[in-house]
Amino acid sequence: MKTTITNDPKVAAEFIKAGEIAAFPTETVYGLGADAFNEKAVKKIFTAKGRPADNPLIVHIANKKDILLLAREITPSAKKIISKFFPGPVTVILKKNEIIPNAVTGGLDTIAIRMPSGRLAKQLIKSAGVPIAAPSANLSGSPSPTNFMHVLRDFNNKIPCLLIGPSAKYGLESTVIDCTGKHPVILRPGSITLEQIKKLDKHAVLLKKFTKLKSPGQKYKHYSPKANVKLITVHNSKGKSEKIKIKLNEPSERQKEIKQKCAFIGLDKNFGRRFEKVLICSSLSIYAKKLFWFFRQCDEDNIKIIYCQKVDEKGIGTAIMNRLQKAAN
């Protein structure tokens, strides 16, 4: 199959309308989309990605009024989140309408809905004239794609269409929030933080233990580069740098070889020096934005171990640690 690569959302929309799948840019990561009302088309996403059928998709809309095409009702907790954060990097879970194909929701009676803010994603959905069901446009288990080259690496000539655009603004998947209950429950942390949601409802929580039913996606291995991912605390409680197991007293050839195969991503400038490949991030948002990109770069360079600096689990640090822990598993 030849992949049509285009920068025109109308061209990509023709594929969606014809029951085909197309990859497209969003502000979180690139998505792989199909007409959410067309079960046969949606199933092609699962086949292309190798995604387990019980891991549901997020349905993308271009207009808030389309929520009621998908959900039975908009709960008060959803209303607050939608009015504050739609369009943006946040997904709400609501009770689904009967007409939604089971393939979209993995057989659940709830549906995940997001309104992306990226210009091309919006134009694509509008031109297609239907909500677009889309997970991230990567092979199941590999790091999410933050630019179109990543999509090509996984899917060149394996999907019919790729809409190219800018690199992802956030670089992490959306914050997924269950709004079916009285208070919001964050199932997957993201760029919109628990602290921000708490400003809308002080009883909002982050679900720590994922039950199979609540959040099917969380049980799968995710986001993993080919390299081994190891999490490290750069400073211990006394403010001293932690020693990691690269023995610097090894014979120089061996030392060089080990060094070549190790990479570091984090915030600490001094710590990064001893690695072959290093990305020092000047802020947590940059860490979030660059993490998957760096994982993929490391695989290209045949890096064997990626040391990732742990961060405090607050603000966007929660989402970074969530992805790091999954990648390290």
**Site residues, ligand AMP (CB under 6 A):** 55-56, 58, 93, 105, 108, 110-112, 135-136, 173, 176, 187-188, 215-217
Cα 36 to chain centroid distance, Å, stands at 19
Alpha-carbon gap, residue 203 to 57, rounded angstroms: 27
DSSP 113-137: EE----HHHHHHHHHHTS-EEE-BS
Alpha-carbon gap, residue 108 to 97, rounded angstroms: 11
Nearest alpha carbon to residue 179 among 264, 111, 108: 111
Identify which of residues 189 and 272 has a Cβ nearer to ligand AMP in the complex.
189
Q: Which partner from the list ligand AMP, Mg ion, none does 105 bind, CB cut-off 5 to 8 Å by kind?
A: ligand AMP
Min dist. Cβ of residue 107 to Mg ion (A): 18
Q: Which partner from the list ligand AMP, Mg ion, none does 56 bind, CB cut-off 5 to 8 Å by kind?
A: ligand AMP
Tokens of 315: 């603000």
Identify which of residues 223 and 307 has a Cβ nearer to Mg ion in the complex.
223
Stretch that binds Mg ion, among 63-71, 132-140, 296-304, 308-316 (CB under 5 A): 132-140
Q: Which partner from the list Mg ion, ligand AMP, none does 110 bind, CB cut-off 5 to 8 Å by kind?
A: ligand AMP
- Residue whose CB is nearest to Mg ion in the complex, by number: 136
Alpha-carbon gap, residue 191 to 60, rounded angstroms: 17
Tokens of 169: 């603004």
Q: Which partner from the list Mg ion, ligand AMP, none does 228 bind, CB cut-off 5 to 8 Å by kind?
A: none
CA 329 vs CA 11, 228, 230, 231, 261: distances in Å? 40, 9, 9, 10, 20
- CB contact set of 289 (below 8 Å; sequence gap of 6+): 146, 168, 169, 170, 171, 172
Identify which of residues 87 and 135 has a Cβ nearer to Mg ion in the complex.
135
Check: CB of residue 159 under 8 Å from CB of residue 46: no
- Contact set for Mg ion, span 135-154 (CB under 5 A): 135-136
Coil, strand or helix: which one is 103?
helix
Q: Which partner from the list Mg ion, ligand AMP, none does 59 bind, CB cut-off 5 to 8 Å by kind?
A: none
Min dist. Cβ of residue 29 to Mg ion (A): 8
Identify which of residues 64 and 326 has a Cβ nearer to Mg ion in the complex.
326
Q: Is 43 exposed, middle or buried (0-12, 13-18, 19+ CB in 10 A)?
A: middle
Identify which of residues 27 and 173 has a Cβ nearer to ligand AMP in the complex.
173
Alpha-carbon gap, residue 61 to 118, rounded angstroms: 12
Min dist. Cβ of residue 206 to ligand AMP (A): 14
Min dist. Cβ of residue 104 to ligand AMP (A): 8
Stretch that binds Mg ion, among 133-141, 184-192, 291-299, 300-308 (CB under 5 A): 133-141
Min dist. Cβ of residue 15 to ligand AMP (A): 19
Check: CB of residue 92 under 8 Å from CB of residue 78: yes
Min dist. Cβ of residue 142 to Mg ion (A): 9
Min dist. Cβ of residue 48 to ligand AMP (A): 13
Count of residues in contact with Mg ion, rule CB under 5 A: 2
Alpha-carbon gap, residue 54 to 17, rounded angstroms: 25
